[in-house]
Chains A and B, each alone.
Chain A
């Protein structure tokens, strides 16, 4: 029972008690007083009447009766009785009305019993009889009843006033408590937040304890996270430059070439240090390492904050830069040359020849091995051109749709207006094999009866043309419709741009509010890159969606692992781990240890961990062993079909 309700009950109880007490006392005294007054009146009237009758010269029954009747009829009497000395009734008058001036139950509950007044009547020295007088108590009942009713009314009003005042006071007193309760609720929902300490000492103690606990938890998470992050780095990064290593890069490249969500085309660059052995001999080991680090710094500059670029050190002398979405390989080569000139050549003026660059554009359909071989060709041509030169080759594949921005806008808008969009659904299964949800990714048909494009093919353009929110909203609507007809949960991807878009968020919350039952079966996921780039927007997005009951998650998780502690206060429900960690996991001991730690830690947050892009049975069984809660990918789709 809430404290307010308890307070109200206490006030009602106290008021009732006070009323009962006051009622008892006032009724008792009033009744006592009334009975006294009535008794006095009875006695006085009896003796007056007795005196008159005693002095009556002739006491014939008619005269005596007339005297008594006159007294009775003029006055307010219940009864007047004259008895002889043997107590036999000589004459009597009774009031026959039943009107009492108060409800019968009240009269029954609180009877007024005034004693009758008695006086003796004489006839000379002889006893004539006894006169007995009892007055009307009707007015007394009426007065008592009115008093009781007024008392009850006042007590009710006073009780209500006390209740209102008490509620208000409690609210005032418990305002700090509300914050404490909110914090406790947040922790229950896996949002680990700290709150300001209230002034009330008792509550302060609680808040201090909870804040300390939250701080300690966060600290533990952060510590564990940094340990795991180190593990991840060791498994996937080159120790000297801290760039991704060859294994990581190759998985990444394959993913980019296969995944439906990655841009459909881009460029690949290889950068090779010219004659590393000679350089080593000339400069010595330490200085060579310094030079390699300078090149790595240049590569990092080239990646910048782009989501679609990744740089890696493939071996001692080779670096790679993958720029998905950048079709112009020649431009990329120029960019690389310019950056390396700034960050490397300028620092090593004594070294005439340090690197060569080869670039090649690609389309998604290509094989990673062939693409690398073509790039190697470009690099070989550059090496023959002279020191620090570059060369770009045209890809063997033909160019893409090759539409202008305006044409793209027209076709995209047309497709969206005509509703040529659908959700391709892939099953996501729990480790035990039961269905978790279906992940839906958008497919778009540019021309009626044309081919259905994957998200990777149209999303880069949609993003550039600021149409991604429309695409996401359509996808959300389709998902809600599917939820109405089907019985499995559905997950929808939202782009980072949509999260930042206030009008999109408001519209989305409106729709979800209208469908509370379906919202509970909706899983909403945002790519890791977008979530961390717009972290504040993402946090408020999470807090807004929390009460609507839909599940919230991050997809393609893994790159920003070091910041996982930040997720502690968001109350997320699941993480989808990027497929680059999943590929051939059965052979990658380093990543196995990292993912095992991740699963353990996520469990502490109450997060489900789902693996993306599972392709083989070997991967699948390893992932289940590592503690993954859910799986998706080709192997899972086939299993679901079979």
Chain B
């Protein structure tokens, strides 16, 4: 009994020590308070070694991109997310018709559909310090198939505006290269959004509120918040 208790106390001490260490290893340099170690730990717990490994790579990438040019950051993030996610329909990945995953969820499991790609890229760039006004997750109508026999699908991409007035760069998972919008005649924009006005820290009307779960987007923001994204 006494030994069991000692072991228990040792375990608790270790956890506390870990928690203290994690708190201090937060990347304060990244404009937003984002605790990578916590995210990595959660990925390990929830999705196993592979998920943890992907998250570590994600962290390393974002760390290495600190101070790089915006265009470089955009390309690298686009490549990373496209490379580490395998396109999977929501029903197969999450068991529901439509599910918007957080970066932790999609990168941790390594799967996602078009909006999961866009969301992961969106938050990666936010963490790198891109202003929210310069990012829009955009509903687009994408044309696929041959020009003679086109088919249209509902799709979602991330548009990066170098300035708010300028033409955006499109981060897409269908086309590997990051291209200006004018070079993507296959995409027709329908509606764009970002987290402005919704993401006000822990304010009552954003992620913390009970109505947040009623909207897919706000629900995603709420889960980000719950997982430690400040």
On whether the beta carbons of B214 and A40 are closer than 8 Å, the reply is yes
On whether the beta carbons of B210 and A47 are closer than 8 Å, the reply is no
Q: Is B109 an interface residue (CB 8 A)?
A: no
On whether the beta carbons of B136 and A127 are closer than 8 Å, the reply is yes
- Nearest CB of chain A from residue B199's CB, rounded to whole Å: 11
Q: Which residue of B lies closest to A115 (CB)?
A: B205
Sort chain A's interface into a size bin.
20 to 34
Q: Which residue of B lies closest to A36 (CB)?
A: B211
With contacts A35-B205, A54-B191, A124-B189 taken as known, whether A117 is within 8 angstroms of B210 at the C-beta atoms is no
- Nearest CB of chain A from residue B222's CB, rounded to whole Å: 13
On whether the beta carbons of A126 and B196 are closer than 8 Å, the reply is no
Q: Which residues of A contact B182 (CB under 8 A)?
A: 125
Residues 24-59 (chain A) with a chain B CB within 8 angstroms: 32, 35-37, 39-40, 43, 47, 50-51, 54-55
Q: Which residues of A contact B (CB under 8 A)?
A: 32, 35-37, 39-40, 43, 47, 50-51, 54-55, 85-86, 114-120, 122, 124-127, 130, 132
Q: Which residues of B contact A115 (CB under 8 A)?
A: 197, 200, 203, 205
- Nearest CB of chain B from residue A33's CB, rounded to whole Å: 9
On whether the beta carbons of A120 and B209 are closer than 8 Å, the reply is no
User: What CA separation (Å) do A116 and B133 show in the bound complex?
Assistant: 17
On whether the beta carbons of B159 and A119 are closer than 8 Å, the reply is no
User: Chain B, 19-57, contact with A by CB distance < 8 Å: what is the 0/1 string?
Assistant: 000000000000000000000000000000000000000
Q: Which residues of A contact B198 (CB under 8 A)?
A: 43, 118
On whether the beta carbons of A127 and B214 are closer than 8 Å, the reply is no
Nearest first, the 10 closest Cβ-Cβ pairs linking A and B are: A118-B197, A85-B164, A125-B181, A115-B205, A39-B205, A36-B211, A122-B192, A51-B191, A120-B192, A40-B211
Q: What is the number of residues of chain B that contact chain A, defined by CB distance less than 8 Å?
A: 29
User: Chain B, 184-200, contact with A by CB distance < 8 Å: what is the 0/1 string?
Assistant: 00000111111011101
Q: Is B123 an interface residue (CB 8 A)?
A: no
On whether the beta carbons of B133 and A85 are closer than 8 Å, the reply is yes
Q: Which residues of B contact A (CB under 8 A)?
A: 133, 136, 138, 159, 161, 164-165, 167-168, 181-182, 189-194, 196-198, 200, 203-205, 209-211, 214-215
Q: Which residues of B contact A47 (CB under 8 A)?
A: 191, 193
Further contacts, 5 of them, CB under 8 A, given A86-B164, A122-B192, A127-B192:
A40-B211, A114-B205, A119-B197, A122-B136, A127-B136
On whether the beta carbons of B168 and A125 are closer than 8 Å, the reply is yes
Interface of chain A: mostly helix, strand, loop or mixed: mixed
With contacts A36-B211, A125-B159, A125-B189 taken as known, whether A130 is within 8 angstroms of B196 at the C-beta atoms is yes
On whether the beta carbons of B196 and A118 are closer than 8 Å, the reply is yes
Q: Which residues of A contact B168 (CB under 8 A)?
A: 125
User: What CA separation (Å) do A132 and B167 show in the bound complex?
Assistant: 23
User: What CA separation (Å) do A629 and B4 show in the bound complex?
Assistant: 94
On whether the beta carbons of A36 and B197 are closer than 8 Å, the reply is no
Among B159, B190, B197, B203, the most chain A Cβ lie within 10 Å of the Cβ of B197
With contacts A36-B209, A39-B211, A85-B133 taken as known, whether A125 is within 8 angstroms of B197 at the C-beta atoms is no
User: What CA separation (Å) do A86 and B131 show in the bound complex?
Assistant: 13
User: What CA separation (Å) do A132 and B133 show in the bound complex?
Assistant: 15
On whether the beta carbons of B191 and A127 are closer than 8 Å, the reply is no
Q: Which residues of A contact B211 (CB under 8 A)?
A: 36-37, 39-40
With contacts A36-B209, A36-B211, A40-B211 taken as known, whether A120 is within 8 angstroms of B181 at the C-beta atoms is no
- Nearest CB of chain B from residue A137's CB, rounded to whole Å: 14
On whether the beta carbons of B193 and A119 are closer than 8 Å, the reply is yes
On whether the beta carbons of B197 and A116 are closer than 8 Å, the reply is yes
User: What CA separation (Å) do A127 and B189 show in the bound complex?
Assistant: 11
Contact sample, A vs B, 23 pairs, CB 8 Å cutoff: A32-B204, A36-B205, A36-B209, A36-B211, A39-B205, A39-B209, A40-B214, A51-B190, A54-B192, A86-B164, A86-B165, A115-B203, A115-B205, A119-B197, A120-B136, A120-B192, A122-B138, A122-B191, A124-B181, A125-B138, A125-B189, A127-B136, A127-B164
On whether the beta carbons of A120 and B190 are closer than 8 Å, the reply is no
On whether the beta carbons of B197 and A117 are closer than 8 Å, the reply is yes
Contact of B167 among A32, A37, A126 (CB under 8 A): A126
Contact of A125 among B167, B196, B200, B209 (CB under 8 A): B167
Q: Which residue of A lies closest to B133 (CB)?
A: A85
User: What CA separation (Å) do A421 and B205 show in the bound complex?
Assistant: 99
On whether the beta carbons of B204 and A35 are closer than 8 Å, the reply is yes
Q: Which residues of A contact B138 (CB under 8 A)?
A: 122, 125
Q: Which residues of A contact B214 (CB under 8 A)?
A: 40
Q: Which residue of A lies closest to B197 (CB)?
A: A118
Q: Which residues of A contact B164 (CB under 8 A)?
A: 85-86, 127
- Nearest CB of chain B from residue A508's CB, rounded to whole Å: 81
User: What CA separation (Å) do A223 and B182 show in the bound complex?
Assistant: 126
Among B189, B194, B205, the most chain A Cβ lie within 10 Å of the Cβ of B205
On whether the beta carbons of B210 and A36 are closer than 8 Å, the reply is yes
Q: Which residues of B contact A120 (CB under 8 A)?
A: 136, 192-194, 196
On whether the beta carbons of B191 and A50 are closer than 8 Å, the reply is yes
Q: Which residues of A contact B209 (CB under 8 A)?
A: 36, 39
User: What CA separation (Å) do A32 and B211 show in the bound complex?
Assistant: 11
User: What CA separation (Å) do A55 and B159 show in the bound complex?
Assistant: 18
- Nearest CB of chain B from residue A18's CB, rounded to whole Å: 27
Q: Which residues of B contact A55 (CB under 8 A)?
A: 190
User: What CA separation (Å) do A613 and B7 show in the bound complex?
Assistant: 108
With contacts A85-B164, A86-B164, A116-B197 taken as known, whether A122 is within 8 angstroms of B189 at the C-beta atoms is yes
- Nearest CB of chain A from residue B94's CB, rounded to whole Å: 24
User: What CA separation (Å) do A37 and B209 show in the bound complex?
Assistant: 11
Q: Which residues of A contact B197 (CB under 8 A)?
A: 43, 115-119, 132
User: What CA separation (Å) do A55 and B192 show in the bound complex?
Assistant: 11
- Nearest CB of chain A from residue B163's CB, rounded to whole Å: 8
Q: Which residues of A contact B190 (CB under 8 A)?
A: 51, 54-55
Q: Which residues of B contact A54 (CB under 8 A)?
A: 189-192
Q: Which residue of A lies closest to B200 (CB)?
A: A115
- Nearest CB of chain A from residue B179's CB, rounded to whole Å: 11
On whether the beta carbons of B205 and A85 are closer than 8 Å, the reply is no
